[in-house]
C-alpha cells in the first residue's frame, strides 16, 4: 500500500515578506526533494480546502471569521502579531493546509494509503483556538484529529510533535479532553515560552530540552518519556507535527539534531502505529527554516513512512 503526499500550490501564495523565515521557498524545497526518483511511488494528491465545519471543531467562530475575512491587497501584508502576518493569499493557503491534513486522515482511514505526508504551509501547531501566533493561522494537526473523531468515530487520537518549539496551540485544543493525546519535545526556554515539564492529566506530555541538546539527548527523552506514554495511550490514529527546526543548521533555535535523528524518531513512531493504529500515520509539516536541512530532513522522514 502506498503513501500519499498532499499539497497545494495555494500554499505558496502565503507570502509574509522577504524578511520572514516562514517563506514560500520552504515548501518549494520540500517538494523539490520529494521529486527525486526514489519518491516516485508517492501518491500525489491535491489538498482540498478545509470546510468551516472542520475548522470550527478547533477554532472559535469569531476567530475563523476574522482570518477568512482578512484579505490584504496584492503586495501588502497585515500583521496579526510580531511574528505572524497575512498576505493576499494567506487565508486560501491556510484553508488548503488544514484541508490537506483532514484529507490525509480520510486517505488512511479509507485504506488506499498506509500513511500520508501533508506538505503545506502555513504551519499550525502554535495556533490556539482563538489566536494566531508563531507563523500559524489554523491548527492543521488538531483539525485533522477532530476530523478523525467526527467522521470516523475514533476514540483515541494522538498528536506527537518533534518541532523545536512547543505546540502550545495543540496543547490548548486538547487540554480538556483525555481521549486526545499530545506529546512534544522542544527546546526550553524558547518561543513561545510554554511547555515546561509538567502534564495535564496523563494525556499531555511535555519534554523540554535545554539549548545545545544533541540527538542523543533527544532520543533518551523520547525513549524514557514520550514513547512509553504513547504506547500506554494506544492511539487508533497517530498524527505527527513534523517540524524539522531542531536540526543543528536551523537558524531559529539551538538543538543539535541531524537527519539521522529524524529517521530514528519516525521509525519509532511508525512502529508504534503498527502496534496500535493498524499502521495509520498522518504527518503534517510544521517548522524548519534552513532550506537545505529542511529538505534533507523531510526526505529522510518520508523515506521511513514509505518503508525505503
Choose which CATH entry (3.40.800.20, 3.40.50.2300, 3.20.20.70, 3.30.420.10) describes domain 3-306: 3.40.800.20
Rounded mean pLDDT, 169-181: 97
- pLDDT for 199 equals 66
Catalytic residues: 126
Say what the pTM is: 0.98
In the Cβ-directed half-sphere of 213, how many Cα atoms lie within 13 Å? 24
226 C-beta neighbours (distance < 10 Å), count: 22
What is the rounded CA–CA span in Å between residue 205 and residue 208? 10
User: What residue spans of the chain are helical by DSSP H?
Assistant: 24-33, 52-56, 61-68, 90-110, 140-152, 168-174, 215-221, 227-233, 259-276, 291-306
- Whether the CB-CB separation of 165 and 187 falls below 8 Å is answered with yes
Separation of alpha carbons 91 and 287, rounded Å: 19
Give the tens place of pLDDT for each residue, 241-270.
Answer: 999 999 999 999 999 999 999 999 999 999
Res 308 pLDDT > 90: no
Domain spans of the chain? Answer: 3-306
pLDDT for 232 beyond 70: yes
Q: Are 256 and 212 in contact (CB under 8 A)?
A: yes
Please report how the helices 140-152 and 90-110 are oriented relative to each other, as an axis angle in degrees rounded to 10: 40
pLDDT, tens only, 41-64: 999 999 999 999 999 999 999 999
Q: How far is CA 114 from CA 144, 157, 176, 256, in A?
A: 16, 17, 30, 31
- Residue linked to cell 496500535: 276
- The string of pLDDT tens digits covering residues 76-134 is 999 999 999 999 999 999 999 999 999 999 999 999 999 999 999 999 999 999 999 99
Read out DSSP for 71-86? -PPTT--EESSSS-EE
Confidence check: pLDDT of 202 > 90: no
Which DSSP letter does residue 37 get?
A: G
Amino acid at each position: 500500500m502506498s503513501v500519499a503526499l498532499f499539497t497545494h500550490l495555494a500554499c505558496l501564495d502565503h507570502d509574509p515578506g522577504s524578511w520572514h523565515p516562514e517563506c514560500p521557498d520552504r515548501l518549494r524545497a520540500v517538494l523539490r526533494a520529494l521529486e527525486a526518483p526514489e519518491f516516485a511511488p508517492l501518491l500525489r494528491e491535491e489538498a482540498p480546502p478545509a470546510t468551516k465545519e472542520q475548522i470550527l471543531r478547533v477554532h472559535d467562530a469569531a476567530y475563523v471569521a476574522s482570518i477568512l475575512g482578512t484579505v490584504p491587497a496584492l503586495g501588502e501584508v497585515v500583521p496579526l502579531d510580531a511574528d505572524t502576518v497575512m498576505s493576499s493569499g494567506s487565508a486560501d493557503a491556510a484553508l488548503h493546509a488544514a484541508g490537506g491534513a483532514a484529507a490525509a486522515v480520510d486517505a488512511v482511514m479509507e485504506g488506499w494509503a498506509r500513511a500520508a505526508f501533508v506538505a503545506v504551509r502555513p504551519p499550525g501547531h502554535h495556533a490556539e483556538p482563538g489566536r494566531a501566533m508563531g507563523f500559524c493561522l489554523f491548527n492543521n494537526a488538531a483539525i485533522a484529529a477532530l476530523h478523525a473523531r467526527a467522521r470516523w468515530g475514533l476514540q483515541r487520537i494522538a498528536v506527537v510533535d518533534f518541532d523545536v518549539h512547543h505546540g502550545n496551540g495543540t496543547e490548548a485544543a486538547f487540554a480538556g479532553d483525555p481521549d486526545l493525546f499530545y506529546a512534544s519535545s522542544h527546546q526550553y526556554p524558547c518561543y513561545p515560552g510554554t511547555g515546561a515539564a509538567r502534564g495535564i492529566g496523563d494525556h499531555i506530555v511535555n519534554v523540554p530540552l535545554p539549548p545545545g541538546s544533541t540527538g542523543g539527548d533527544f532520543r533518551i527523552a523520547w525513549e524514557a518519556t514520550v514513547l512509553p506514554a504513547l504506547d500506554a495511550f494506544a492511539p487508533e490514529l497517530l498524527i505527527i507535527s513534523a517540524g524539522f527546526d531542531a536540526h543543528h543548521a536551523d537558524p531559529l533555535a539551538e538543538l543539535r539534531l541531524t537527519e539521522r535523528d529524524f529517521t530514528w524518531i519516525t521509525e519509532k513512531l511508525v512502529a508504534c502505529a503498527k502496534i496500535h493504529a493498524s499502521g495509520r500515520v498522518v504527518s503534517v509539516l510544521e517548522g524548519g527554516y534552513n532550506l537545505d536541512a529542511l529538505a534533507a530532513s523531510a526526505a529522510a522522514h518520508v523515506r521511513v513512512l514509505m518503508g525505503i
